[in-house]
Amino acid sequence: MSQLQKIEPSPLDLVVAIGAATDIGGRASNEDSIHAAELAESPPAPGGAPAPTFLLAVADGMGGHADGEVASRLAIETLAAAIGNEPGPDAGVLFKQAFRRANEAIYDEGAATGGDRPMGTTLVAALLRGKYATVASVGDSRAYLLRAKGLTQITRDHTFVAEEVERGALTAEQARRSPQRNVLTQALGFRQKLDSKLPAVYELTLLPDDRLLLCSDGFSDVLDNADLIAALLGRNAPAAAQLLVDLARERGATDNVSAVVAEAVPTRVSTVPVAAVRPRARLSTPVIILIAAIVIIVLVAAGILLTSNF
Protein backbone atom coordinates (compact mmCIF):
# COMPACT_ATOMS: atom_id res chain seq x y z
CA MET A 1 0.00 0.00 0.00
CA SER A 2 1.24 3.45 -0.89
CA GLN A 3 2.21 5.58 2.09
CA LEU A 4 0.53 8.69 0.56
CA GLN A 5 -3.21 8.17 0.56
CA LYS A 6 -5.44 10.58 -1.31
CA ILE A 7 -8.06 12.11 0.96
CA GLU A 8 -11.04 14.19 -0.13
CA PRO A 9 -10.54 17.95 0.38
CA SER A 10 -13.00 19.60 2.77
CA PRO A 11 -16.03 21.25 1.06
CA LEU A 12 -15.31 24.33 3.24
CA ASP A 13 -11.92 25.99 3.06
CA LEU A 14 -12.86 28.47 5.78
CA VAL A 15 -15.14 28.87 8.77
CA VAL A 16 -16.68 32.18 9.79
CA ALA A 17 -16.25 33.70 13.26
CA ILE A 18 -18.40 36.68 14.31
CA GLY A 19 -17.91 39.57 16.73
CA ALA A 20 -20.17 42.54 17.47
CA ALA A 21 -20.04 45.66 19.65
CA THR A 22 -22.06 48.85 20.02
CA ASP A 23 -21.61 51.92 22.20
CA ILE A 24 -23.51 55.09 23.02
CA GLY A 25 -20.40 57.15 22.13
CA GLY A 26 -21.00 60.86 22.68
CA ARG A 27 -24.81 60.73 22.62
CA ALA A 28 -27.44 60.68 25.36
CA SER A 29 -28.88 57.42 24.01
CA ASN A 30 -27.91 54.69 21.56
CA GLU A 31 -29.99 54.94 18.39
CA ASP A 32 -27.97 52.17 16.69
CA SER A 33 -29.18 48.56 16.71
CA ILE A 34 -27.07 45.56 15.79
CA HIS A 35 -27.75 41.91 14.99
CA ALA A 36 -25.52 38.85 14.65
CA ALA A 37 -27.18 35.43 14.55
CA GLU A 38 -26.25 31.96 13.37
CA LEU A 39 -29.15 30.45 11.40
CA ALA A 40 -29.82 26.86 10.31
CA GLU A 41 -27.36 25.66 7.65
CA SER A 42 -28.60 26.54 4.15
CA PRO A 43 -27.37 26.08 0.56
CA PRO A 44 -25.62 29.07 -1.07
CA ALA A 45 -27.18 28.14 -4.43
CA PRO A 46 -30.28 26.11 -5.45
CA GLY A 47 -29.44 22.40 -5.12
CA GLY A 48 -26.13 23.15 -3.39
CA ALA A 49 -24.81 21.63 -0.17
CA PRO A 50 -25.93 23.42 3.03
CA ALA A 51 -23.30 25.65 4.63
CA PRO A 52 -23.10 27.44 8.03
CA THR A 53 -25.31 30.54 7.72
CA PHE A 54 -25.21 33.88 9.54
CA LEU A 55 -27.35 37.01 9.41
CA LEU A 56 -25.53 40.21 10.41
CA ALA A 57 -26.90 43.76 10.47
CA VAL A 58 -26.31 47.31 11.66
CA ALA A 59 -29.06 49.97 11.72
CA ASP A 60 -28.56 53.63 12.62
CA GLY A 61 -31.83 55.29 13.58
CA MET A 62 -32.86 58.94 13.49
CA GLY A 63 -35.85 61.05 14.52
CA GLY A 64 -37.13 63.10 17.45
CA HIS A 65 -37.32 61.84 21.06
CA ALA A 66 -36.82 58.05 21.12
CA ASP A 67 -37.82 57.64 17.47
CA GLY A 68 -34.30 56.76 16.27
CA GLU A 69 -34.06 53.87 18.71
CA VAL A 70 -37.52 52.63 17.74
CA ALA A 71 -36.72 52.86 14.00
CA SER A 72 -33.41 50.99 14.15
CA ARG A 73 -34.87 48.29 16.42
CA LEU A 74 -37.90 47.86 14.13
CA ALA A 75 -35.58 47.53 11.13
CA ILE A 76 -33.54 44.77 12.79
CA GLU A 77 -36.61 42.92 14.15
CA THR A 78 -38.42 43.05 10.80
CA LEU A 79 -35.29 41.95 8.92
CA ALA A 80 -34.65 39.00 11.26
CA ALA A 81 -38.30 37.87 11.08
CA ALA A 82 -38.42 38.18 7.27
CA ILE A 83 -35.18 36.24 6.71
CA GLY A 84 -36.18 33.60 9.30
CA ASN A 85 -34.06 30.73 10.55
CA GLU A 86 -34.06 28.76 7.27
CA PRO A 87 -33.54 31.29 4.47
CA GLY A 88 -34.10 30.23 0.85
CA PRO A 89 -31.15 30.30 -1.56
CA ASP A 90 -31.76 33.71 -3.20
CA ALA A 91 -30.45 36.18 -0.62
CA GLY A 92 -30.91 39.17 -2.95
CA VAL A 93 -34.66 38.54 -3.27
CA LEU A 94 -34.96 37.85 0.47
CA PHE A 95 -33.29 41.17 1.27
CA LYS A 96 -35.51 43.08 -1.20
CA GLN A 97 -38.60 41.70 0.59
CA ALA A 98 -37.18 42.19 4.08
CA PHE A 99 -36.10 45.82 3.48
CA ARG A 100 -39.55 46.60 1.99
CA ARG A 101 -41.30 45.20 5.06
CA ALA A 102 -38.95 47.10 7.38
CA ASN A 103 -39.60 50.35 5.48
CA GLU A 104 -43.37 49.88 5.83
CA ALA A 105 -43.19 48.97 9.52
CA ILE A 106 -41.12 52.07 10.33
CA TYR A 107 -43.20 54.39 8.12
CA ASP A 108 -46.42 53.13 9.76
CA GLU A 109 -44.93 53.56 13.24
CA GLY A 110 -43.79 57.09 12.38
CA ALA A 111 -47.22 58.00 10.98
CA ALA A 112 -48.94 56.56 14.09
CA THR A 113 -46.77 58.36 16.64
CA GLY A 114 -46.45 61.61 14.60
CA GLY A 115 -43.11 62.85 15.95
CA ASP A 116 -41.70 66.31 15.14
CA ARG A 117 -39.07 64.85 12.77
CA PRO A 118 -39.51 61.93 10.37
CA MET A 119 -38.60 58.55 11.87
CA GLY A 120 -36.07 56.62 9.84
CA THR A 121 -33.04 54.39 9.87
CA THR A 122 -30.19 53.13 7.77
CA LEU A 123 -29.82 49.36 7.43
CA VAL A 124 -26.83 47.38 6.22
CA ALA A 125 -27.17 43.59 6.36
CA ALA A 126 -25.16 40.55 5.29
CA LEU A 127 -26.23 36.94 4.79
CA LEU A 128 -23.21 34.64 4.93
CA ARG A 129 -23.29 31.01 3.78
CA GLY A 130 -19.90 29.40 4.04
CA LYS A 131 -17.68 31.66 1.97
CA TYR A 132 -20.53 33.33 0.05
CA ALA A 133 -21.76 36.70 1.31
CA THR A 134 -24.65 38.86 0.13
CA VAL A 135 -24.72 42.43 1.45
CA ALA A 136 -27.71 44.80 1.20
CA SER A 137 -27.86 48.45 2.20
CA VAL A 138 -30.00 51.56 2.42
CA GLY A 139 -28.47 54.72 3.90
CA ASP A 140 -24.90 55.42 4.99
CA SER A 141 -24.02 52.58 7.33
CA ARG A 142 -21.26 50.71 5.54
CA ALA A 143 -19.86 47.31 4.67
CA TYR A 144 -16.09 47.07 4.24
CA LEU A 145 -13.97 44.14 3.07
CA LEU A 146 -10.45 43.76 4.41
CA ARG A 147 -8.41 41.50 2.11
CA ALA A 148 -4.62 41.13 2.19
CA LYS A 149 -4.26 44.35 4.27
CA GLY A 150 -6.31 46.34 1.74
CA LEU A 151 -9.65 47.88 2.79
CA THR A 152 -12.48 48.28 0.27
CA GLN A 153 -15.81 49.97 0.93
CA ILE A 154 -18.38 47.53 -0.48
CA THR A 155 -21.49 49.68 -0.08
CA ARG A 156 -22.24 53.01 -1.70
CA ASP A 157 -23.47 55.70 0.71
CA HIS A 158 -26.96 57.06 0.05
CA THR A 159 -25.91 60.58 0.99
CA PHE A 160 -26.02 63.97 -0.69
CA VAL A 161 -22.21 64.26 -0.64
CA ALA A 162 -21.63 60.74 -2.05
CA GLU A 163 -23.83 61.65 -5.01
CA GLU A 164 -21.84 64.88 -5.45
CA VAL A 165 -18.60 62.86 -5.47
CA GLU A 166 -20.05 60.46 -8.07
CA ARG A 167 -20.93 63.31 -10.43
CA GLY A 168 -17.51 64.92 -9.89
CA ALA A 169 -18.74 68.00 -8.01
CA LEU A 170 -16.84 67.14 -4.79
CA THR A 171 -13.64 65.23 -4.01
CA ALA A 172 -13.78 62.38 -1.49
CA GLU A 173 -11.85 64.54 1.01
CA GLN A 174 -14.25 67.50 0.55
CA ALA A 175 -17.16 65.09 1.11
CA ARG A 176 -15.53 63.79 4.33
CA ARG A 177 -15.29 67.35 5.72
CA SER A 178 -18.58 68.68 4.38
CA PRO A 179 -21.13 69.90 6.97
CA GLN A 180 -23.72 68.11 4.81
CA ARG A 181 -21.91 64.76 5.04
CA ASN A 182 -24.69 63.21 7.15
CA VAL A 183 -27.58 64.27 4.90
CA LEU A 184 -29.17 61.03 3.64
CA THR A 185 -30.87 60.71 0.28
CA GLN A 186 -32.36 57.30 1.18
CA ALA A 187 -33.40 55.68 4.45
CA LEU A 188 -35.97 53.18 5.70
CA GLY A 189 -39.20 54.77 6.96
CA PHE A 190 -38.94 58.21 5.33
CA ARG A 191 -41.32 57.41 2.48
CA GLN A 192 -44.36 55.14 2.30
CA LYS A 193 -42.74 52.98 -0.41
CA LEU A 194 -39.07 52.16 -0.70
CA ASP A 195 -37.47 53.10 -4.04
CA SER A 196 -37.82 50.09 -6.39
CA LYS A 197 -34.03 49.99 -6.95
CA LEU A 198 -33.39 49.53 -3.23
CA PRO A 199 -31.78 48.03 -1.28
CA ALA A 200 -28.49 48.05 -3.16
CA VAL A 201 -27.29 44.42 -3.18
CA TYR A 202 -23.66 43.28 -3.43
CA GLU A 203 -22.36 39.70 -3.79
CA LEU A 204 -18.89 38.62 -2.69
CA THR A 205 -16.92 35.45 -2.05
CA LEU A 206 -14.75 35.46 1.04
CA LEU A 207 -11.18 34.19 0.93
CA PRO A 208 -9.37 32.76 3.97
CA ASP A 209 -8.28 35.59 6.35
CA ASP A 210 -10.73 38.14 4.87
CA ARG A 211 -12.67 40.34 7.31
CA LEU A 212 -16.11 41.76 6.56
CA LEU A 213 -17.06 44.81 8.65
CA LEU A 214 -20.54 46.30 8.97
CA CYS A 215 -20.56 49.63 10.82
CA SER A 216 -22.53 52.77 11.54
CA ASP A 217 -21.26 56.21 10.43
CA GLY A 218 -20.18 57.17 13.99
CA PHE A 219 -16.65 55.94 13.22
CA SER A 220 -16.06 58.10 10.17
CA ASP A 221 -15.19 61.33 12.03
CA VAL A 222 -12.72 59.67 14.42
CA LEU A 223 -11.21 56.65 12.62
CA ASP A 224 -9.67 56.60 9.15
CA ASN A 225 -9.07 53.60 6.87
CA ALA A 226 -5.63 52.94 8.40
CA ASP A 227 -7.27 52.74 11.87
CA LEU A 228 -9.89 50.30 10.60
CA ILE A 229 -7.20 48.10 8.99
CA ALA A 230 -5.03 48.15 12.14
CA ALA A 231 -7.99 47.20 14.36
CA LEU A 232 -9.21 44.38 12.10
CA LEU A 233 -5.82 42.77 11.47
CA GLY A 234 -4.23 40.21 13.73
CA ARG A 235 -7.05 39.72 16.22
CA ASN A 236 -10.21 37.66 16.31
CA ALA A 237 -13.62 39.06 15.34
CA PRO A 238 -14.99 39.80 18.84
CA ALA A 239 -11.74 41.54 19.87
CA ALA A 240 -11.68 43.57 16.63
CA ALA A 241 -15.29 44.76 17.04
CA GLN A 242 -14.66 45.75 20.67
CA LEU A 243 -11.39 47.52 19.83
CA LEU A 244 -13.07 49.62 17.10
CA VAL A 245 -15.73 50.79 19.55
CA ASP A 246 -13.20 51.43 22.36
CA LEU A 247 -10.91 53.38 20.01
CA ALA A 248 -13.81 55.56 18.79
CA ARG A 249 -14.75 56.35 22.41
CA GLU A 250 -11.14 57.19 23.30
CA ARG A 251 -10.99 59.61 20.39
CA GLY A 252 -14.14 61.38 21.52
CA ALA A 253 -16.74 60.06 19.07
CA THR A 254 -19.77 62.37 19.23
CA ASP A 255 -22.10 59.78 17.67
CA ASN A 256 -23.14 56.21 18.52
CA VAL A 257 -20.70 53.59 17.18
CA SER A 258 -21.50 50.00 16.15
CA ALA A 259 -19.40 47.32 14.48
CA VAL A 260 -20.16 43.75 13.40
CA VAL A 261 -17.12 41.80 12.19
CA ALA A 262 -17.04 38.48 10.31
CA GLU A 263 -13.68 36.77 10.11
CA ALA A 264 -13.01 34.08 7.47
CA VAL A 265 -10.85 31.67 9.43
CA PRO A 266 -8.89 29.25 7.22
CA THR A 267 -9.50 25.60 8.13
CA ARG A 268 -6.04 24.60 6.77
CA VAL A 269 -7.12 21.08 5.79
CA SER A 270 -4.05 19.02 4.85
CA THR A 271 -4.23 16.84 1.70
CA VAL A 272 -1.56 14.56 3.22
CA PRO A 273 -2.63 12.14 5.97
CA VAL A 274 -0.97 12.71 9.31
CA ALA A 275 0.68 9.22 9.28
CA ALA A 276 2.51 10.04 6.04
CA VAL A 277 4.09 13.24 7.34
CA ARG A 278 5.15 11.81 10.69
CA PRO A 279 8.98 12.06 10.85
CA ARG A 280 10.79 8.75 10.53
CA ALA A 281 12.09 7.24 13.75
CA ARG A 282 15.69 8.45 14.16
CA LEU A 283 18.50 6.45 15.70
CA SER A 284 20.20 8.21 18.56
CA THR A 285 24.00 8.79 18.42
CA PRO A 286 24.88 6.14 21.12
CA VAL A 287 22.88 3.50 19.20
CA ILE A 288 24.75 4.40 15.94
CA ILE A 289 28.13 4.12 17.76
CA LEU A 290 27.10 0.75 19.24
CA ILE A 291 26.01 -0.58 15.80
CA ALA A 292 29.25 0.71 14.21
CA ALA A 293 31.28 -0.99 16.96
CA ILE A 294 29.47 -4.32 16.43
CA VAL A 295 30.04 -4.09 12.64
CA ILE A 296 33.76 -3.41 13.14
CA ILE A 297 34.07 -6.30 15.63
CA VAL A 298 32.27 -8.67 13.20
CA LEU A 299 34.46 -7.51 10.29
CA VAL A 300 37.66 -7.89 12.35
CA ALA A 301 36.53 -11.34 13.59
CA ALA A 302 35.67 -12.40 10.02
CA GLY A 303 39.12 -11.15 8.89
CA ILE A 304 40.87 -13.15 11.63
CA LEU A 305 38.78 -16.22 10.70
CA LEU A 306 39.61 -15.83 6.98
CA THR A 307 43.38 -15.30 7.55
CA SER A 308 43.56 -18.25 9.99
CA ASN A 309 41.85 -20.55 7.41
CA PHE A 310 44.24 -19.64 4.56
Is residue 61 within 8 A of residue 68, CB to CB? The reply is: yes
Taking CB under 5 A as the rule, does residue 255 contact Ca ion? Answer: yes
105-112 own/partner pairs: CB under 8 Å, 24+ apart = 105/74, 105/75, 105/78, 106/71, 106/74, 106/75, 106/188, 106/189, 107/189, 107/190, 107/191, 107/192, 109/70, 109/71, 109/74, 109/189, 110/63, 110/67, 110/71, 110/189
Residue type, 174: Q
The torsion of the CA quartet 102, 58, 208, 42, rounded to 10 degrees, works out to: -30
- At a CB cut-off of 8 Å and minimum separation 6, what does 101 contact? 78, 82
Q: Which stretch binds Ca ion (CB under 5 A): 192-200, 249-257, 264-272, 274-282?
A: 249-257
Q: Which stretch binds Ca ion (CB under 5 A): 126-134, 213-221, 266-274, 298-306?
A: 213-221
Nearer to Ca ion, 106 or 264 (CB): 106
Site for Ca ion in 154-183 (CB under 5 A): none
Q: Which stretch binds Ca ion (CB under 5 A): 127-135, 154-162, 240-248, 251-259?
A: 251-259
User: CB 250 → Ca ion: shortest distance, Å?
Assistant: 18
Q: Which stretch binds Ca ion (CB under 5 A): 16-24, 110-118, 158-166, 209-217?
A: 209-217
CA distance 43 to 53: 9
CA distance 262 to 282: 45
CA distance 93 to 233: 33
DSSP secondary structure, 134-162, as one string: EEEEESS-EEEEEETTEEEE-SPP-BHHH
CA distance 160 to 157: 9
Nearer to Ca ion, 60 or 69 (CB): 60
Nearer to Ca ion, 60 or 157 (CB): 60
What single DSSP character describes residue 267?
-
Nearer to Ca ion, 31 or 210 (CB): 31
CA distance 21 to 300: 79
Nearer to Ca ion, 161 or 206 (CB): 161
**Binds Ca ion (CB under 5 A): choice among 217, 232, 244, 264:** 217
User: CB 157 → Ca ion: shortest distance, Å?
Assistant: 12
User: CB 255 → Ca ion: shortest distance, Å?
Assistant: 4
Q: Which stretch binds Ca ion (CB under 5 A): 112-120, 163-171, 205-213, 247-255?
A: 247-255
Number of residues that bind Ca ion (CB under 5 A): 5
Give the x/- contact pattern for Ca ion in 33-72, rule: CB under 5 A.
---------------------------x------------
Taking CB under 5 A as the rule, does residue 263 contact Ca ion? Answer: no
Nearer to Ca ion, 91 or 257 (CB): 257
Residues that bind Ca ion (CB under 5 A): 60, 216-218, 255
